[in-house]
Chains A and B, each alone.
Chain A
């Protein structure tokens, strides 16, 4: 029964991963990364259920905290570059290359 949750978690992770690769807006890319982290949480909780220990559930809490910290830092960086460039597109920021 828990396999369904694992499949869902893998799907969410894949959607997030593809989103990071194909989307252009930094905010959306970042939301896709958050989706990947939540997919990890789902996998952790499911495995905790499978193994009958609570380690996985505790880890999910840690991941939420880390994700929250990441939002703070990430949005600060994205907002700064948006104020400068008037755009949050990851394609526009292309001064650094070769």
Chain B
């Protein structure tokens, strides 16, 4: 006899709402006339994200669940709820940016420059499929850090990635770059998820289960299968480190960030990073926590390499989006420092709280920076080359000032949110006696500060070119995004305590199996 599985619908409600809205969006694409679609898709998307956020808050107020949901498949614990809240806010903001129809292609299947594309352009077609695709990706992002077994994690990884591969190829201008970014992201992403899956298979062979808690238990009880364990852990690690863009798996990041439509880049840079770090923490802390003596040295090397490679390669960039991509690589390295700072329960709560706070503030600032990038335009599209940004401070001081502020927050200057994020992570690492790692982190931050400041100097102390880029008047969505990001960066830089406390209390209730 088969007993029906027990599903805690209320705990999973945010996930179900987002996926439900995504399915509804697909039906809207199928059954409503073209001219109505946009008017339906935008409210459906925004309302579902807001509703999911409200449901997450309700769940938090009702008390954090003490047991995994859905027969042990999904762990809705404190960190998950915090990450859900963060991702939903970031996603909402990104959708406001996506809403600016300027960024997406009129007919993705048409050959760039063909008559077919021209016709779609003139008819004013827009791909409203962007909204359900984004919702599926966001749903995957919510499930990825909440998954309590490796199979759910793999499925979530794909649900998150597949729509993003498509979204990358939908830029309105510079179609060739956009398509190339999609192909590169797709092939490398599929390659890395194959590694993740083989690692999962080996860990299943080791433990006889893909449940994270059962793998953790098998570490102590299964003997003589170390080959399977180490190889499996390494392969799963490769798959996850690829998604966060840690060196030596960072090569896709600049290419994809540059080619993708900028709102999608913002969604990837903020949402995917948060989700992937949640998954990294779950695998390495919950399933492989007792294996720390084996993975810690490797993670040290990866963290150092990621910070240094990100910071140094960012200096050599001449393209603003590539520079922000390498900056994102460096920030992934800083976050890995926090992942290494695992220890006893008190230390874990300190480190996990720091990582959660860092993820939230970094995500908000990144979206703000990319939103500014969408507003500085050349006739052929956004002005990406750094030389085009020279003297922007003299032509439109407000926008350049905001961008400079976001860059200072990336650099971690006091009175911006980035400072407290870095401080919290490095403090946790020092408490775990990982001081050499913190020294490397601080040096990389200094190198990184150099190229952030270089852009600021370029904007404010160079003469503007005669045919410089124009700063477009932002749509209400873009203006709201920039305003929100700037406000959040200031507020979290001056009064970080409430969010720090929230992150710390969320960190206290991680399910450890």
Contacts and interface: CB of A to CB of B under 8 A. Distances in A.
Contacts of A29: 187
Contact of A73 (B166, B184, B204): B166
Contacts of B166: 73, 76-77
B13 interface: no
A59 interface: yes
Interface size class of A (residues with CB under 8 A): 35 or more
B176 A95 contact: yes
A52 to B, nearest CB: 9
B258 A33 contact: no
Interface in B246-281: 254-255, 258-259
B183 interface: yes
Interface in B371-417: none
Interface in B315-360: 316-317, 322
A51 B228 CA distance: 14
B302 interface: no
A90 to B, nearest CB: 7
Interface string A24-49: 00100110010011011001101100
Interface in B102-122: 108-109, 111-112
A51 B322 CA distance: 47
Nearest to A70: B190
B158, B176, B197: residue with the most chain A Cβ atoms closer than 10 Å: B197
Nearest to B175: A84
Interface string B130-172: 0000000000000000000001001100100010011001000
Given A59-B204, A96-B255, A83 B111 contact: yes
Interface string B195-217: 10110111011001110000000
Nearest to B199: A40
A81 B201 contact: no
Interface size class of B (residues with CB under 8 A): 35 or more
A80 B179 contact: yes
Contacts of A74: 165, 186-187, 190
Nearest to B163: A73
B181, B184, B205: residue with the most chain A Cβ atoms closer than 10 Å: B205
Interface string A45-64: 01100110101100100110
A1 to B, nearest CB: 15
A22 interface: no
B182 interface: yes
Contacts of B209: 53, 55
A52 B358 CA distance: 44
A77 B111 contact: no
A77 B169 contact: yes
B340 to A, nearest CB: 28
Contact of B183 (A6, A20, A62, A77): A77
A51 B209 CA distance: 9
B177 interface: yes
Contact of B155 (A17, A46, A62): A62
B175, B180, B194, B258: residue with the most chain A Cβ atoms closer than 10 Å: B194
Contacts of A17: 191, 194
A44 B200 CA distance: 9
A17 B209 CA distance: 25
Contact of A96 (B177, B208, B317): B177
A46 B205 CA distance: 9
Contacts of A95: 176-177, 180
Given A55-B204, A95-B180, 16 more contacts: A9-B201, A36-B191, A50-B205, A56-B201, A59-B151, A59-B200, A62-B151, A66-B158, A73-B186, A74-B190, A81-B169, A81-B183, A93-B180, A95-B177, A96-B181, A96-B259
Ranked 6 nearest A-B pairs via Cβ: A36-B194, A43-B201, A47-B205, A51-B208, A96-B255, A93-B180
24 contacts: A20-B191, A29-B187, A36-B194, A37-B197, A40-B194, A40-B197, A43-B201, A44-B201, A47-B205, A55-B210, A59-B151, A69-B162, A70-B190, A76-B166, A77-B166, A80-B108, A84-B175, A85-B176, A90-B183, A94-B180, A96-B184, A96-B254, A96-B255, A98-B322
